[in-house]
Structure 1
Amino acid sequence: MSSFINSEIFNSWLSTFLSIIVESLPFILIGSIISAIIQLFLKEETIKKFLPKNKIISIILASLMGLFLPLCECAIVPIGRSLIKKGVSVGTATTFMLAVPIINPIVLLSTYYAFSNNLSIVFLRAFGGLFISILIGLILEILTKKTQVIKNDTDYLSSCDCGCENLYMKSNFFTNLKNLIDHTSKEFLDISRYFILGAFLAGIVSVAMGSLNIDFKNIMPSMGIIVMMLLTFFLSLCSEADAFVAKGFLSSFGNSGVIAFLILGPMLDLKNVILLLGAFKKKYVFSLMFLTCSILALFSYLVLFFGL
């Protein structure tokens, strides 16, 4: 009997783990290719020219740039730092870093696909990502100056190992193709190792929740939001595929917990915090962390309160 139960639990975990991997890998691959193309063609100067001088309008436009720039998450922090160095305001660059990993077609499409055409989850993720990133950008625009944000070049060490800073297009076609393949493969492998670990742990958590029969959604929905925020922070999943992990928690945590998971992860996880601490001063990073977590928690509680 014991071996049957163990076998049943293992099979349940294996089924969850493999389904997450199989469903998500195409989105990770597509995202890696598009991100590599953008990294090769697009420079920070081009982004700066596109943004208007009016800071409020600039922040709003920065929140929407993910619709056209589905960049890899490891490149967001170095690009955000470069934008500030080139004269883009702190609020605009911050909004850009927070919104781009959420507001892009691949992420929204994968969310739509993962949740079986559930438009409410897609809408809440997109709206929440936009609202929170814009609000944080406006607050930091008021409270923070450029000189208080970025580290000196001598202190800066990017943790991104994909080489995206040095892959702008050359004149030689074969060199460009080699760089494209190199960037895509490195990013795909980097994202995949985090995601496979995340899927492995998510399968364990999903099976454990089913076995223990802990229903945060009906018993402790407020606590469920905090649990999901902690989980997404430490899993450090790619935003192009995290929805496939999150859908396994929907029955236990409800929309509010899942939304907290889907919004916080792309904005702020363990991997990105390490990158942020390498590129920006601690005061800015800790302010960003506090604002992101507190505003997202409030937004998630509103989702819970109104039963969205």
Structure 2
Amino acid sequence: MLLAVGTVAMVVVPDVLFHLDTPAFRAWRTVFVAIAVQGLPFLVFGTLISAAISAFVPASVFDRVLPRKPALAVPVAGAAGAVLPGCECASVPVAGSLMGRGVAPAAALAFLLSAPAINPIVLVATAVAFPGSPEMVLARLIASLGVAVTMGWLWAALGRPEWLRLPAPRRTAPAGKWQVFRDGLQHDFLHAGGFLVVGAMAAATFNILVPQSVLETVSSSPWLSVLALAVLAVVLAVCSEADAFVAASLTGFSPTARLAFMVVGPMVDVKLIALQAGTFGRPFAFRFSSATFVVAVVSSVLVGWWLL
């Protein structure tokens, strides 16, 4: 089967590319390759760190560090995301493991949102994608941390136990840690790498095919441009280690709209909603994702108005 597919690809793809070798296609290819190549090193490093944390850092460490009171544990857990990198795919099972070990759900959810959004790899990638714009890095940090802490406090105040299905705790034998690391690295890289490629293709297509008049209509409205890129972030589901490069390529939009793309994406996208539904139940995923989307958009607008 694979041999047949490979043979067809070798015969058909060069001919297709020859006929597509137009100025528009060359521009598309340039944008796609630039986004993918820039984002790949951060994606690799991020998945390495994420797999290492999942395999070698026991959940009991978080239980010892976090305060017992949820109101205090939420900001501590949110800030922990700045020093403990993790991709979106890894943050959901890690949060479930924390809850299974007795960590307050509000604190675990704050960590779930902050870890893929404000970790050092993501912030460095943002700085590289927006050279000479340190205010964009600071805006992403403040807006994303604000969303994580706000959602943690909202869950502590309004969340109901019946909305959240706690996953059964899983134990990993010490002898299997390297196997867990390899499996986690392979899983995260293949999944996140696929989303990076799809996101880069979509961003390149968006830049080339969308008429300039449409871009001007959307980008000329502050609220419409923010909502458009926020929804685009949900649909594209680009890995947080690489989404800054996609956002930087959307030059027709305002800095605040591109900030919304980077704040919403790591917290609410189609793959995260599916992961949350499978781990915590569909009622939780619907409520939590909807509320997070609204809070993320509002936070992006406020921080963008302040810093950008």
Alignment-derived partner of residue 215 in structure 1: 216
How big is each residue's C-alpha offset from its partner over 1:157-207, in whole Å with a ceiling of 9 and x where there is no partner? xxxxxxxx676642xxxx655553443233212211111011101100012
Matches within 5 A, 1:95-110: 95-110=110-125
Shift of 1:9: 1.2
Unmatched 5+ stretches in structure 1: 157-164
Change (3 A) 1:168 1:199: farther
Whether contact under 8 Å (1:217, 1:254) holds in the other structure is no
Change (3 A) 1:48 1:304: closer
How big is each residue's C-alpha offset from its partner over 1:38-71, in whole Å with a ceiling of 9 and x where there is no partner? 1111122221111111222211110111222112
Query: How many angstroms apart in 1 are the aligned matches of 2:38 and 2:159?
Result: 42
Alignment-derived partner of residue 7 in structure 1: 22
Percent of aligned positions with the same letter in both sequences?
Answer: 29
Alignment-derived partner of residue 191 in structure 2: 190
- Verify: 1:92 aligned to 2:130, yes or no: no
State the secondary structure of the residue aligned to 1:38.
Answer: helix
Alignment-derived partner of residue 302 in structure 1: 302
Query: How many angstroms apart in 1 are the aligned matches of 2:223 and 2:122?
Result: 26
Alignment-derived partner of residue 158 in structure 2: 143
Equivalent position amino acid for 2:36 in 1:
I
- Verify: 1:76 aligned to 2:91, yes or no: yes
User: Which deviates further from its counterpart, 175-184 or 97-106?
Assistant: 175-184
State the secondary structure of the residue aligned to 1:198.
Answer: helix
Whether contact under 8 Å (2:88, 2:267) holds in the other structure is no
User: Which deviates further from its counterpart, 240-249 or 284-293?
Assistant: 284-293
Alignment-derived partner of residue 206 in structure 1: 207
Change (3 A) 1:166 1:234: farther
Query: How many angstroms apart in 1 are the aligned matches of 2:210 and 2:80?
Result: 38
Alignment-derived partner of residue 240 in structure 1: 241
Task: Give the TM-score taking structure 2 as reference length.
Answer: 0.86
Whether contact under 8 Å (2:129, 2:245) holds in the other structure is yes
Alignment-derived partner of residue 58 in structure 1: 73
Shift of 1:281: 3.3
Task: Give the TM-score taking structure 1 as reference length.
Answer: 0.86
State the secondary structure of the residue aligned to 1:266.
Answer: coil
Whether contact under 8 Å (1:90, 1:146) holds in the other structure is no
How big is each residue's C-alpha offset from its partner over 1:257-283, in whole Å with a ceiling of 9 and x where there is no partner? 111100111011100100111122333
Alignment-derived partner of residue 281 in structure 2: 281
Alignment-derived partner of residue 263 in structure 2: 263
Whether contact under 8 Å (2:264, 2:297) holds in the other structure is no
Query: How many angstroms apart in 2 are the aligned matches of 1:287 and 1:138?
Result: 15
Query: How many angstroms apart in 1 are the aligned matches of 2:90 and 2:112?
Result: 9
- Verify: 1:20 aligned to 2:21, yes or no: no
Change (3 A) 1:288 1:179: closer
How big is each residue's C-alpha offset from its partner over 1:17-51, in whole Å with a ceiling of 9 and x where there is no partner? 00011111111111111111111111222211111
Change (3 A) 1:176 1:132: closer
Query: How many angstroms apart in 2 are the aligned matches of 1:145 and 1:69?
Result: 28
Which of 44, 54, 67 in structure 1 is aligned with 2:59? Answer: 44
Change (3 A) 1:84 1:211: same
Equivalent position amino acid for 2:29 in 1:
L
- Verify: 1:272 aligned to 2:287, yes or no: no
Equivalent position amino acid for 2:277 in 1:
L
Query: How many angstroms apart in 1 are the aligned matches of 2:172 and 2:35?
Result: 32
Matches within 5 A, 1:114-129: 114-129=129-144
Shift of 1:5: 11
Whether contact under 8 Å (2:96, 2:166) holds in the other structure is no
User: Which deviates further from its counterpart, 13-22 or 138-147?
Assistant: 138-147
State the secondary structure of the residue aligned to 2:118.
Answer: coil
Change (3 A) 1:108 1:167: farther
Query: How many angstroms apart in 1 are the aligned matches of 2:131 and 2:302?
Result: 24
How big is each residue's C-alpha offset from its partner over 1:131-163, in whole Å with a ceiling of 9 and x where there is no partner? 11101110110111334312565xx9xxxxxxx
